[in-house]
Amino acid sequence: MRDPLPQRLGESRYFWGLSRERLAVAGGLLAAAAAVLLLAPIEAFASAPQDAANPAYREFPVVGSRVIMWVTAELHLMFAAFVLAVPMFAVIIEIIGYVSGDKRYDALAYEFTKLLSVSFSFTASLGAMLTFLLVVLYPALTDYLMSIFSWTFFPYVALFFLEAIFLYSYYYGWGKFNPKTHIFLGIMLNLVGTGIMFIADAWLTFMNTPAGISETGELVSLSAAFMNPMWMPINIHRIIANIAFGGSVAAAYAAFQFLGAKTDEERAHYDWMGYIGNFIAIAALLPLPFAGYWLGKEIYAFSQSLGITLMGGTFSWLFIIQAILIGNLFLAANYYLWVSMERIEGAERFRPYIKYLLIVIAGCFLVWATPHSLVASVEEARKMGGAHHPVLGVLGVMSAKNTAVNILILTTFLSFLLYRRGNKAPTVSWAKAGNIAQIAIFVSVVVFVTFLGVYGYFVEASVRIGLSVPQVLSVIFCMIAVTTIDVFMYRNARVTGKIKWGQMSARSQYALFFIALTFAWTMGLMGYVRAGMRQHWHVYGVLEDTSVDAFTPTLGYASNVVSITVLIFFVFIAIVFWLAGLSGKKAWEPAVKAGGEPGEEGAE
């Protein structure tokens, strides 16, 4: 299980296949590039207004201050999400392995953990870059945030040290400690990581929903500023979203290894790892909309203006893009499950149902992605009687969309149930009754959710908003009740066929990449709207943005920035995958000539 360390690198004339001379040239070029990158900002800062004793802004060259901050913050968030999420499911998988005695789980948990150490360094580096950019480019904002939160920086740093200690002891201590001690380290790693996130969340949520300050912006209560209205909803939303994102990236890692696997054993292992990673991602995705409802509710409760800017004003079309992203996630997740059923003997019996599931998912997707108002010419608007389409406009309101997304969640849950039953037949005497009960629960909840959706058209807004709560609760009830019945019904089930791990098509692995990319893009988009809804405020209603970037850009522009950020993230994460993959490689040894002397070229 231990990583073989590279041997004698310092004694070699070669490093990663490059001679020292070539290495020197490459190093020189890199240093020159770094110097250009470092000096360019200095040149630009020199041209920034120097007459003011305390400039509130400085300009970053070429892309501007806003974009460099935007991209850096988002990259930091993506890596942080990954670093916080992976230990959560790694330790759960390790516990499963410990309790069940199945060593495969222990190996899988270790494989997930291997991705952490390099990612942790990336996260810290990006965090440092973000801090420097904030201090240099936005000094007035930094000063103000420091005047509120300076005392929170000390526990943050202390927790960061603890995070490093627990992370590296968890990783390097694999197989070195008593399993219970090792699991304890993993749990502590998660607790400390969550604490770090909670502190950082206080800083960013304060900017949206400031509290604990006087009318002139001075600190009155640190605890109120810390636990501002958006703080806990963001904490919960982020924990769930991080798990979904982390699972999807880990699944992408497995897909990457699967496609490059040389043996059936490797393919089987990475197929299984991809399945687990994707399962984690989708399991976390299902409750995510519910956490989103709470977050939205708190934003509206803090300020109707802020809420309406977010959902009904400037950014309303952003949520159409989000609907397309989430719809794609559900489609791809279901597709992966359906393709996965091909490798389960006995699962063919469920194949006829897939087309119906696809129809339901596509229908829900279309309803969810239907805009409330359309962009129309004056003539078109006159013919329609307004910006609302006579038919589609009816589907574009929240009553229809909430109903669609709840049914979408239930359909994905049903796909998973079918997958789970693929090669099993229940042996309990009450199996028929259990099936009937499950179907009854499904049908009742779908009817109830649809009824509330239709009822929402006939009541006033204040009542309609509240209908999403019973819809959500009934769906959660359905998933818990059906799962409980299923677990008991399939206990000691008869296995009717094998799961042929590794016998998966390449396109199924691309579905995993697609899911990871879509998660990352969704995260980038929602990060944008979380900050963008403040519009021309650094701290909403308290500290105004008076820079040249105070305007809110178009969604097209924002989409391009998000795409570039996602691509940069995946280049970085590819480096992480590559470095993680090195740990399984053989140690370097010099090639041996026929006469027994070391040859010119080193062998891997």
Partner 1 sequence: MKNAVKIFGFAILVTAFYSYVGQTVPQKITYPPESATLGADMSSAELAEAGETIISGKGTCLGCHTIGSGADPSSLRFPDLGGIGAAAATRVEGQDAVTYLAKALYEPNDFIAEGFLPGMPTINRPPIGLNDDEIKAVIAYLQTLGGEPTVTLVTDLGYTTEVSAAPTPGATAAVGSGLDGPGVFQTYLCGTCHNIDAAGALAGPSLYDVGSRLSNAEIYEAIMDPDATIADGFAGGVMPATLGATGFYTKISSEELRALVNYLSAQTGG
Residue from 18, 23, 44, 222 in contact with partner 1 (CB under 8 A): 44
Q: Are 331 and 481 in contact (CB under 8 A)?
A: no
How far, CA to CA in Å, does 134 sit from each of 58, 59, 123, 518, 547? Answer: 10, 12, 16, 28, 14
CA neighbours within 13 Å on the CB side: how many for 113? 32
- Contact between 236 and partner 1 by CB under 8 A: the answer reads no
- Contact between 308 and partner 1 by CB under 8 A: the answer reads yes
Report, in Å, the least distance between residue 362 CB and partner 1: 17
Q: Which helix or strand (DSSP H or E) is residue 380 part of?
A: helix 378-384
Report, in Å, the least distance between residue 108 CB and partner 1: 22
Report, in Å, the least distance between residue 306 CB and partner 1: 8
Q: Which helix or strand (DSSP H or E) is residue 539 part of?
A: strand 537-539
Report, in Å, the least distance between residue 534 CB and partner 1: 8
Report, in Å, the least distance between residue 564 CB and partner 1: 8
Q: Name the residue type at position 323.
A: A
Q: Which is nearer to partner 1, 325 or 467 (CB)?
A: 325
Q: Which range of residues in 70-78, 135-143, 220-228, 231-239 is near partner 1 by CB under 8 A? A: 135-143
Q: Which is nearer to partner 1, 55 or 212 (CB)?
A: 55
Q: Are 527 and 234 in contact (CB under 8 A)?
A: no
Residue from 7, 150, 304, 583 in contact with partner 1 (CB under 8 A): 304
Strands 424-425 and 543-544: unpaired
- Contact between 375 and partner 1 by CB under 8 A: the answer reads yes
How many whole angstroms separate alpha carbon 392 and alpha carbon 534? 30
Q: Are 72 and 133 in contact (CB under 8 A)?
A: yes
Q: Which is nearer to partner 1, 324 or 428 (CB)?
A: 324
Binding map of partner 1 across residues 449-478, x = CB under 8 A, - = no contact: ----------xxxx----------------
Binding map of partner 1 across residues 393-432, x = CB under 8 A, - = no contact: ----------------------------------------
* Residue written as token pair 């000390």: 154
- Contact between 135 and partner 1 by CB under 8 A: the answer reads no
Q: Which is nearer to partner 1, 113 or 403 (CB)?
A: 403
- Of 333, 331, 327, the closest CA to residue 401 belongs to 327
Report, in Å, the least distance between residue 211 CB and partner 1: 14
Q: Are 279 and 251 in contact (CB under 8 A)?
A: no
Residues 6+ apart with CB under 8 A from 165: none
Q: Which range of residues in 124-132, 136-144, 159-167, 488-496 is near partner 1 by CB under 8 A? A: 136-144
Q: Are 209 and 302 in contact (CB under 8 A)?
A: yes
Residue from 105, 275, 330, 540 in contact with partner 1 (CB under 8 A): 540
- Contact between 555 and partner 1 by CB under 8 A: the answer reads yes
Which residues does residue 5 pair with via DSSP β-bridges, in sequence order?
none
- Of 572, 543, 553, the closest CA to residue 138 belongs to 543
Residue from 19, 181, 505, 554 in contact with partner 1 (CB under 8 A): 554
- Contact between 256 and partner 1 by CB under 8 A: the answer reads yes
Report, in Å, the least distance between residue 452 CB and partner 1: 17
CB atoms within 10 A of CB 55: 14
Residue from 175, 260, 598, 599 in contact with partner 1 (CB under 8 A): 260
Residue from 566, 572, 576, 602 in contact with partner 1 (CB under 8 A): 566
Considering only residues 155 through 214, tell me which ones interact with partner 1, judged by CB under 8 A: none
CB atoms within 10 A of CB 503: 13
CA neighbours within 13 Å on the CB side: how many for 170? 31
- Contact between 221 and partner 1 by CB under 8 A: the answer reads no
Q: Which range of residues in 32-40, 78-86, 300-308, 420-428 is near partner 1 by CB under 8 A? A: 300-308
How many whole angstroms separate alpha carbon 515 and alpha carbon 246? 11
| Maximum CA extent, the chain | 91
CB atoms within 10 A of CB 352: 8
Q: Are 184 and 517 in contact (CB under 8 A)?
A: no
Three-state secondary-structure class, residue 396: coil
Q: By rule CB under 8 A, what count of residues binds partner 1?
A: 78
- Contact between 136 and partner 1 by CB under 8 A: the answer reads no
Q: Which is nearer to partner 1, 450 or 563 (CB)?
A: 563
Report, in Å, the least distance between residue 340 CB and partner 1: 20
Residue from 551, 592, 599, 600 in contact with partner 1 (CB under 8 A): 551
